[in-house]
Amino acid sequence: MGKCIIFCAGGFDSLLEPIMADDLVIAADGGLRHTQNLGVRPGVILGDFDSLGYVPEGSEVFPCEKDDTDAMLAVRCGLDAGFREFMIYGGVEGPRLEHTVANFQTLQYLAERSARGYLIGKNQIVFVLSPGQVIFPNTAKGYLSVFCLGQDAAGVSLDGLHYPMHNGTLTAGFPLGVSNRFIGEEAHISVKSGYLLLIWDRDNGIPQVAQDK
């Protein structure tokens, strides 16, 4: 199965990788503008359309007063269709910080269901790791920040980075993992319990991920 490609209303410059025939493309509200600019035809258009300002033909319309953000609606749609990997464009660098934070929680929602989601912005990629491991190649450059999301993250190991950690604990109340750096070695980030929010430079692409079942 391919990937679920979601376009939100925030900014980004370009696609990280080509869209394939078996991918599901979802335009969430104002994300439809991105698909139009890219010449991409979405398989699903949904949202409350407060950002877009009009209701496109053939779209799934939801009320503004709802529990789900438009991004979460798109994620639920992709999960219901059986997709396990989500590339979410325009979900990081929008004008409203609260929606960025909501999208961090949406990544955790995916991780809790053994799925993977990536927020892809202009300069950075964001990912939530549940118990498991992420591996970056020795060609990775720049910064990697690692934060605890929610309850304490235990059994955290950071190998092949400027600031290593071995079987440590990160808490939500202290940003110990901010601004780590790649050093030209293969980098391994792992956690035994809890959730880690990872942020790295977009040029490094998508790393190898192995999540515990």
CATH number of the domain within which 86 lies: 3.40.50.10240
Count CA atoms closer than 13 A to 18's CA, side-chain side: 3
Number of domains in the chain: 2
**Amino acid occupying residue 83:** F
The pLDDT, as a whole number, for residue 64 is 77
Phi/psi for 154 (5° steps) reads -110, 155
171-71-13 Cα angle (round to 5): 90
Do residue 15 and residue 63 come from a single domain?
A: yes
Q: Assess whether 20 and 116 both reside in one domain.
A: yes
pLDDT at position 32 over 60? yes
Residues 28 and 9 placed together within one structural domain of the fold:
yes
What's the whole-model pTM score? 0.94
In a domain, 211, yes or no: no
Domain end call among 122, 139, 157: 122
Residue 2: pLDDT band with limits 50, 70, 90: very high
Angle (deg, nearest 10), helices 70-80 and 97-112? 20
- pLDDT mean over 118-127: 95
pLDDT digits (tens, 9 = 90+) for 155-202: 999 999 999 999 999 999 999 999 999 999 999 999 999 999 999 999
Domain that holds residue 116: 4-122
